[in-house]
Amino acid sequence: MYAVIKTGGKQYRVQSGEKLKVELLSVEVGSTVDLDQVLLVADGEDITFGRPLVAGAKVTAKVLAHGRHDKVKIFKMRRRKHYQKHQGHRQGFTEVQIDSIVKG
């Protein structure tokens, strides 16, 4: 059984027991979070599509950790104009483990 969920503006295909890094959520480590924006639920040959969401479906996940990804370096330059700009960015994430998928 798997589901396609939407969180943080991105879509993820998840299964029970799977670990993944999603955009930063404002929940504490060790607590559970219900992801109720479920776009698709598949159980073998039985596939349920949402229009746009599957009614009554939810995915329960446990928050394992918060962190930050590796640094992305940004370099801007205009040739012959003596303009150079250096910048860096580290995006925050929340690591979750999928506990259960409830079909609607």
What are the sequence ranges of the domains in the chain?
2-102
- C-alpha triplet 15, 16, 20: angle, nearest 5°: 65
The pTM score is: 0.86
Task: State which H helix or E strand residue 18 sits in.
Answer: none
List the pLDDT tens digit at each of the 104 positions of the chain.
999 999 999 999 999 999 999 999 999 999 999 999 999 999 999 999 999 999 999 999 999 999 999 999 999 999 999 999 999 999 999 999 999 999 97
**Which strands sit side by side in the sheet containing 46-49, from one edge to the other?**
10-15, 2-7, 38-43, 46-49
